[in-house]
Amino acid sequence: MRTTVTVAGCLALVLGAGAFVAAFTGAVDLAVAATAGLVLVVGASGALLLLRLHRGHRAVDRTARSVQETLGGLTRAVGWQEKLLSRAVGRLDVLTTEARRTAGEVHRTGLRAQEQLQVHELHITARFDEHTAVQQEQLTSGLAQAAADAAAAAQLVTRYRPAVPIAPSGPTPGRFLPLLLAAVDAGPRSLLTVDLGEQVLWLAYAFPAADIVALVPQGQEQPLRTAAARHGLTDQLRVLPRQRRHPPLAHYYDDWYDPGGLAGPFDLLVLGQGTPAVFPAVPLLLPLLTADSVVLLPADEGSPVPAWQEEGLVEIDEALSAPPVVALRPAPGRRSAG
């Protein structure tokens, strides 16, 4: 563009100078021709300039539209970013509120958990103290019972001096010794025992002139016979395994010893336990007892003695009874032997 303008300028300058010289010298035709050429050059240059200006204007318009479009895109992008930012800020506010609410819930839950933990701790402490007290009581009771059993065993050994040791099967020594002492006070000549285990050997030592029959479950007779033989008491102590059958008692549902074929009479019946498991003892064995016989059994909770009394079978002998032992005698009208 600059080159074109320069060339046009030079031509216009030359033509103008020529026209001026021609006019000055009187060469009218040459002056007219030079002027026409000058006009032509100036017109061509003006047209070319106008064309270039038009093109430049169009380029400027396109650039302006592009800039406007770019600015519009930027504006839209900025607006979208502002919307996104606004949404993010709103979401952040919601999350902040939710976080605060959750923190409050966590705090309240922690307080409740702490309260429950304290209550639970108090409960556990109370249960532990209670359990400790029960265990202490049981331990104290167990130690007392063990000491009583040891003292009773020492007293039995010192009093009767058995040939060989006697195994503590059946009632413990502490529970059996009061039975033996009550039996000594009764002074029997013939004894019938139920479930005394090897403790029945002490009765054989205590009553060397008495006949003793021991009822034991089937399968346990041979160990007791062997123990009697070791003590030299075979002739005095008869061990009888009794067949078991359902007793003819309306309120009793377990099998018990069958007294059929068992010879009497006996003036002392010693039971190894006072629980309902021996309930048939008096109803079934009472016909084998003498009129002045005595029934001895440990004093236990759930003892069948009250039921025997209600049926009019026995009466309590207060003179022979002691706190750990219940002594009974057949009620009048129920004495059928001797």
pLDDT confidence of 40, banded at 50, 70, 90?
Answer: low
- Give the helix ranges, DSSP H, for 161-208: 173-186, 200-206
Phi, psi of 160 (to 5 degrees): -115, -10
Mean pLDDT of all residues belonging to the chain: 79
- For residue 336, being part of any structural domain is answered with no
User: Do residues 276 and 304 lie in contact, with contact meaning Cβ atoms separated by under 8 Å?
Assistant: yes
User: Do residues 8 and 41 lie in contact, with contact meaning Cβ atoms separated by under 8 Å?
Assistant: yes
User: Do residues 212 and 191 lie in contact, with contact meaning Cβ atoms separated by under 8 Å?
Assistant: yes
pLDDT of residue 337: 43
- For residue 62, being part of any structural domain is answered with no
pLDDT digits over 4-26, tens only?
A: 546 555 655 655 665 555 556 66
253 lies in which domain range? Answer: 167-330
Per the structure, the count of domains in the chain is 1
For residue 148, give Cα distances in angstroms to 174, 227, 252, 321.
5, 25, 34, 19
Of the ranges 74-88, 109-123, 197-211, 234-248, which is most confident?
A: 197-211
Q: In the Cβ-directed half-sphere of 239, how many Cα atoms lie within 13 Å? A: 24
- For residue 107, being part of any structural domain is answered with no
Identity at 259, one-letter amino acid code: P
User: Do residues 327 and 296 lie in contact, with contact meaning Cβ atoms separated by under 8 Å?
Assistant: yes
Task: Give the domain CATH number at 177.
Answer: 3.40.50.150
Q: For residues 298-307, give the mean pLDDT.
A: 84
